[in-house]
Amino acid sequence: MNRPVRIAVILPVPYRGGSLRGAQMLAEALLLGSRQAGEPAEIVLAHLDEPDKYSDHHFADLHPDIRRRPYQWQTLYKKTAERAMIYARQDWHAESPLYLAPDDGINQFYDCDLWVIVSDRLLHPLLPIRPTVHMVYDYIQRYEPILPHGQDYPYLEAARKAQAVMVTTRFTEQDALNYAGVEREKLHKVPMLVPKFTRMERASGIAEEPPYFIWTTNPSPHKNHPNAFLALREYYDVLGGTLKCHITGAMTENLLEAKFPNLAPVSELAKKSENIRKNVLCLGELADSLYQSRLERAAFLWHAGRIDNGTFSVVEAAHLGVPSLSSDYPAMREMDEMFKLNLAWMDPNNPMDMARALKKMEVEANERRKLLPAEEMLNEHSVEHSALAYWKVVRSCL
Amino acid sequence: MSVKNYGIYVAFPPTVDMRAQGLGRYLAALLNASKNDPNVRFVVACPVWARPSLLALCESEKIDPAGFDILSPKGTPALLRLFNLVYGRSFGRVSLNGGRFSRFWQKLKHSGLPLAYRIGLPFFKWTATNTGILAPVVLSVIFLPLGAVIVIGGFFATCVLTLREASNLLKRKPKFLDLWRRRTNKIARIYRNQKNNALLYALYQMMAEDQAKKLVKLANKRADIVAWYAPAAFWEEFNDIKAPKLMCVPDLVLNDFPVGYANPEVSRYAKSFQIVMRAIEGADHIVTYSEHIKQENVLKFYPKDPDKIHVIRHAPNTLHQLLVDKNGNPLSHEALKALLLTSLKKSSQKEYVASLNTTDIQFIFYASQFRPNKNVITLLRAYKHLLHRKFVSHKLLLTGKPDMVPQIKQFIYDHHLENDVLCLPGLSATQLAACYALADLAVNPSLSEGGCPFTFTEAMSVGTPAVMARIPVTMEVLDDSSLQDVMFFDPYDWQSLADRMEWALANKDHLFAIQTPVYNRLVQRTWGDVVNEHIDILHSLSKQEAGIA
């Protein structure tokens, strides 16, 4: 009995939030792309079997034709790995003492013809029993010391050993070549996948508030909090800023309380600045409808992070007619170019520049609304539009 | 028409109990069915140690051993004799009760005072009353050496205790104590799990290969055996038999489940896999149980003539014939429940079943060993969903050994299912039949089999409907599309399995009614048909060999 090609899209760590949404979009892109190519494939989305992290509602937007399968990582010693490869009739010798195989309790995804790993976060080499493609979004560790020395060697090796590596920006493409050492032939730049924007019913019960801007962030080091808070202090204390700052995002409710080591300077700053304590409101992670309502009422969105692969928060803001002030780094420039967002820019390494940009935006925000792209232009970058590019990369590895 | 002799070649290594092997039961079915054909006589070529297992198989399956011949090399290998002495798997008995020395020791340990009393009292009386010189001589002979042993033993005990005391002071255990403990623990583990000990397995394989070669020599001397059949592809030596040969390739699960079977606890499969590969490569004519295995496991990997790969499907297995009393009447419901209770007492969850005396439990049943291709974890996920989310109150009874697959044991423990998922290894055929009969539903989530699993006919034969995984070998046999819609599920999707089981439990009678005509059709095929088809092929091969058109 001939069955369609089956692809596993595997989340190697318990990603949530934007990364989880990205993985679901990737799975959907492969599903739609295979259909567009006339080779309809079955797609399985694999996530770690951690019920406290993943429940049904996290996958409410998953395409109904995509199957979900929980798994645990199984570690294989060298001899076991070699045995498995012998049984799989593959001529191979183990070079590493340990290998990883995703164990779904069924057949370790051996029923799938190819594995797409979302990111490169593998502590040991993957058992090469199926062709593998990695979807790598960024190499932040090249710019920010978020990992101890040498900890990312397994990640780099994972990308090098894969049959293909997909990236979504020219910036990450250069990092993959020059930092990760991925061979050029294996590297494929594919379009960014943009979430389908759904305008939700306005959340009711939000009282009228003083004008504000929204800063969407999380406690990660590359989000540039020390500089951002220095900028806020400058904005309020020196430049007479009048807008409140509403901070949203996972684990941000305690941003000022130094629960994370990299946020200690922020906490100190907040203690000493009455204006910050008065004007900065930490809201934590909001439900989608509530977030949208707040964003819609904001004067602008502030993206203060120093480096990453770009953030879709500016695209979502544009959908709602809200302009954005963004840190100036390559991935955001690429997004600006792709989506015609007409972002306002600031130097994330210079708190004074950041403060001045905030003050300028306070004045120009309304005008900048007119520079935002039309809804139709934003919708050109839907998953359906970009799906075939993804399928072609995967197809070439089968 | 003269009687034709056909050979069956089975060269299992030592310790294999054919009653516990699927191939063994398949062999039994062939032997049983052949008794009805007066023109056919089978000669079973097997190693010397397999004779008792073969005879035990006959006894278990009610086959008359006089209905076939056995061909074996003479004499037992010396090493095997030593193993038998120590481990008790002696020639003539298939038992796990330990060797003579261990049995003696166990008896001594457990009999305690009564045994000492029984032996000691008469002896004491004799010494107390005997007036001749014999009693003192006997006493001296016994007690002088005994005294010496006590003195010397006491000396060593003192040394050991002193050392231990010294090491406790130094907070270090003497290495030799640890070494001794490790050695005795290792011996105990080997004894408990001989199959999975690499060294023992290697020794067994050496003996098996030697016997296999001897069997080939014996086979080649038997010009009266016109063709040979090997019910498995385990023995590449089979290809050295000069007569026409037919080799069965049941399946290649190692190829289909490479990571699962690469488990180090079953590392013996690595060498077996290569032997099987060579055996298939060298085979001339092959038979499989299904078209799927022929295409996907044989022709896909070996450049063979498709006309030389034959497909002979199983006959169905039924169980109703086991649930009868001495007079041939069906067992009463109470009798079935009594069998169920004895089955439940075999549960690995000893504490839970110790005081269990009720059989008024509803349950779902999956009869299978725990192997990587059996897809037990998916079944457990589905069951957990039914129990905890849908509040389906049934238990799940399984027949595998949870210790053999740690993930299964861990899943049951992690999800607090140990009192609802009961593993009942070692059921007799009658107990198995009773469990099937009393179950509300039989299920088979297996991902891969050589032929259509027996679950359907086994369950239906005793009045229980079944739901099964949608896999190619099953769909080849259960090809009725309306039936497939109601009884199949996607084995890769636990939700699909859960939904199917939930529906089946709510619509048992309806499902059974739909399945009955298909069952009635399937049971028209008998093991006699299977034997005849094998014989037809063997006959055809022998004619080709003889140059007869």
Question: A15-50: per-residue pLDDT in tens?
Answer: 887 789 899 999 999 999 999 999 999 999 999 999
Nearest-Cα residue of chain A relative to residue B407: A105
Q: How far is CA A52 from the centre of its chain?
A: 21
Whether chain B has a CB inside 8 Å of the CB on A238: the answer is: no
Query: How confident is the model at residue B91, as a pLDDT?
Result: 40
CB contact under 8 A, B292 and A1: yes
Residues B262, A87: contact at Cβ < 8 Å? yes
**A-B C-beta contacts closer than 8 Å:** 76
Written as six digits, the tokens of A6 are 């089956």
The segment with the largest mean pLDDT, out of A149-158, A320-329, B186-195, is A320-329
Query: How confident is the model at residue A211, as a pLDDT?
Result: 94
Give the contacts of A41 (CB within 8 A, at least 6 positions apart): A4, A5, A6, A7, A30, A31, A34, A391
Spell out which residues of chain A touch residue B259, defining contact as CB-CB under 8 Å: 74, 76, 84, 101, 103, 107-108, 110, 127, 129
**E strand intervals along B115-260:** 225-230, 245-248
Spell out which residues of chain B touch residue A78, defining contact as CB-CB under 8 Å: none
Residue reference for tokens 């037809």: B536
CB contact under 8 A, A107 and B381: no
A87 closest CB neighbour out of B258, B375, B475: B258
Query: How confident is the model at residue A1, as a pLDDT?
Result: 46
Closest CA of chain B from A79, distance in Å: 8
The identity of residue A130, as a single letter, is R
H or E stretch covering B276: helix B269-282
Top residue of B259, B383, B477 to mutate, by most chain A CBs within 10 Å, is B259
Nearest-Cα residue of chain A relative to residue B471: A1
ipTM above 0.90, yes or no: no
The identity of residue B168, as a single letter, is N
Query: How confident is the model at residue B95, as a pLDDT?
Result: 42
Q: How many CA atoms lie within 13 A of A352 on its CB side?
A: 0
Query: Which residue, B546, B544, B536, B547, is CA-closest to B229?
Result: B536
Ranking A274-283, A376-385, B358-367, B515-524 by mean pLDDT, the lowest is A376-385
Spell out which residues of chain B touch residue A98, defining contact as CB-CB under 8 Å: none
CB contact under 8 A, B491 and A110: no
In chain B (549 residues long), the average pLDDT of successive 10-residue segments reads 86 77 78 82 91 86 88 79 60 44 55 56 55 63 70 71 64 57 54 56 77 92 94 92 94 91 70 88 95 94 94 92 92 95 92 84 94 96 94 93 89 91 92 96 96 94 97 93 93 97 97 96 91 91 74
Query: Which residue, A348, A288, A349, is CA-closest to A313?
Result: A288
pLDDT at A222 over 50: yes
CB contact under 8 A, A103 and B259: yes
CB contact under 8 A, B258 and A105: no
Residues B47, B208: contact at Cβ < 8 Å? yes
Backbone angles phi, psi at B508, to 5 degrees: -55, -50
CB contact under 8 A, B260 and A108: yes
Ranking A133-147, A237-251, B166-180 by mean pLDDT, the lowest is B166-180
Ranking A196-200, A270-274, B124-128 by mean pLDDT, the lowest is B124-128
Q: Confidence class of residue A233 from pLDDT cuts 50, 70 and 90?
A: very high
Give the contacts of B68 (CB within 8 A, at least 6 positions apart): B31, B34, B41, B42, B43, B44
Spell out which residues of chain A touch residue B491, defining contact as CB-CB under 8 Å: 106
Question: A73-130: per-residue pLDDT in tens?
Answer: 999 999 999 999 999 999 999 999 999 999 999 999 999 999 999 999 999 999 999 9
Q: How far apart (Å, rounded) are the C-alpha atoms in residues B203 and A303?
A: 69
Nearest-Cα residue of chain B relative to residue A72: B407
Whether chain B has a CB inside 8 Å of the CB on A296: the answer is: no
Written as six digits, the tokens of A378 are 């934003």
Query: How confident is the model at residue B372, as a pLDDT?
Result: 92
CB contact under 8 A, B407 and A105: yes
The counts of H helices and E strands in chain A are 13, 14
Stronger pLDDT, A65 or B270, i.e. the higher one: A65
Whether chain B has a CB inside 8 Å of the CB on A77: the answer is: yes
Spell out which residues of chain B touch residue A103, defining contact as CB-CB under 8 Å: 259, 407
Longest dimension (CA), chain A: 74
Residues A176, A136: contact at Cβ < 8 Å? yes
Interface of A with B in 33-62 (CB under 8 A): 44
CB contact under 8 A, B372 and A1: no
A87 closest CB neighbour out of B261, B264, B491: B261
Top residue of A1, A7, A72, A126 to mutate, by most chain B CBs within 10 Å, is A1
Whether chain B has a CB inside 8 Å of the CB on A105: the answer is: yes
A110 closest CB neighbour out of B259, B274, B378: B259
Question: Which residues on chain B place their C-beta less than 8 Å from a C-beta of chain A?
Answer: 254-264, 267, 269-270, 273-274, 292, 301, 372-373, 375, 377-378, 381, 407, 411, 447, 472, 475, 491-493
CB contact under 8 A, B259 and A86: no
A106 closest CB neighbour out of B269, B377, B472: B377
Spell out which residues of chain B touch residue A84, defining contact as CB-CB under 8 Å: 258-259, 261-262
CB contact under 8 A, A107 and B475: no
